[in-house]
Each structure stands twice: as C-alpha cells, then as structure tokens.
Amino acid sequence: MDKIKKRFTLLNAVVEAMIKQPETIKYPFAAMELPEGFRGAIVFDPDKCSGCGLCVRDCPAEALHINKKSREEYTLLHYPARCAYCGQCEDSCRHGAISHSNKLVGATTHKDDWVLVFKDSKASQE
Ligand code: SF4
Ligand code: SF4
C-alpha cells in the first residue's frame, strides 16, 4: 500500500511539473523583471559632470579613470569588466551625473566595450 501511495505522489509531482510554468526565464529572449533599486548598468550624464574626480577616488574596483589636463579639459573612462556595481560612484557624485540603471549589463566579446568614454570634454566642446 505504501509503495502505491509513493508512486501516486511521484506521478502527481510529474503531472504538476508538466502543467506549471517554468521557474526560469528564457533571458535574453524574454524580458526579465528586475527589482526596484537594482544596481544595473551605469548611466552617465556628461552635461552634469564637473570633472571633480570624486567617483574615481572612491571607486573600490578602480573601474573609473580620469585623464585630467586642466579643470575644463578631461576624459572620464569606465571599465565595465572591473566594475562591481556597488553604487559608490553614484553616492559620491554630488552632481547626479552618474547612476545605476535598472538594466542588466550585457556580455561582450568586443574589446571596445571594455572601456567606455563617459566624458571627453574636448569632444563635447566640438
Ligand atoms: S559601481 Fe562601484 S565599482 Fe562600479 S564604477 Fe561605481 S564605484 Fe566603481
Ligand atoms: S561623475 Fe560626478 S563625481 Fe565623477 S567626475 Fe563627474 S561630477 Fe565628479
């Protein structure tokens, strides 16, 4: 009797699993809902950036770099592969120029994607 009961339980579980929606998501083919406050890909607003370098100073992963020639002339770079998506740069920036989006960071095989030019003051003057 016990054996039959066990078999029914198993059969029940199999049927349930066949009917139920899968727990996993076919990402990236299906959209993934991320929770509010998720620290995803970094977004940058070059117009708000003053070039103060606080984000670079506070980044624990050395994922930000600033090449500064003068107060007005500088380049701010981001290295996504080094980034820990910790949120420190967002906290450090007094101008709201750098923040996290609610989007996942895509994988890449293009080496150009390993360095993002957040701001090139020369280019924005042209
Ligand atoms: S999220 Fe963290 S690791 Fe990434 S750039 Fe900002 S401070 Fe650096
Ligand atoms: S992003 Fe913010 S903290 Fe970083 S250099 Fe620009 S103004 Fe300063």
Residue type, 78: H
The residues that bridge with 117 in the sheet, in sequence order, are 77
Closest ligand (CA of 41): 1
What pLDDT shows up at residue 114? 87
Which token pair is 84? 């820990």
pLDDT the model gives residue 124: 62
pLDDT(88) > 80: yes
Task: In whole angstroms, give the CA distance from residue 82 to residue 13.
Answer: 44
Statement: residue 113 has pLDDT above 80: yes
If you measure from the C-alpha of residue 17 to the centroid of ligand 2, how many angstroms do you get, rounded to a whole number? Answer: 51
For the record, the structure tokens of 18 come out as 């066949």
Looking at residues 30-35, what average pLDDT do you find?
A: 85
pLDDT level of residue 26 (50, 70, 90 thresholds): confident
Residue with the smallest CA separation from ligand 1 atom 1 is 85
Quote the tokens at residue 57.
Answer: 């100073």
Tell me the CATH number for domain 37-125.
Answer: 3.30.70.3270
Task: Please report the atom of ligand 2 found closest to the CA of residue 119.
Answer: 6
**Ligand 1 atom with least separation from CA of 92:** 7
Q: Where are the domains of the chain?
A: 37-125
Determine the pLDDT at residue 125: 59
Please give the pLDDT value at position 53. 95
- CA 48–ligand 2 middle distance (angstroms): 8
What residue has token string 């120029």? 97
The band of 126, judged by pLDDT with boundaries at 50, 70 and 90, is low
How does the average pLDDT of the chain come out, rounded? Answer: 90
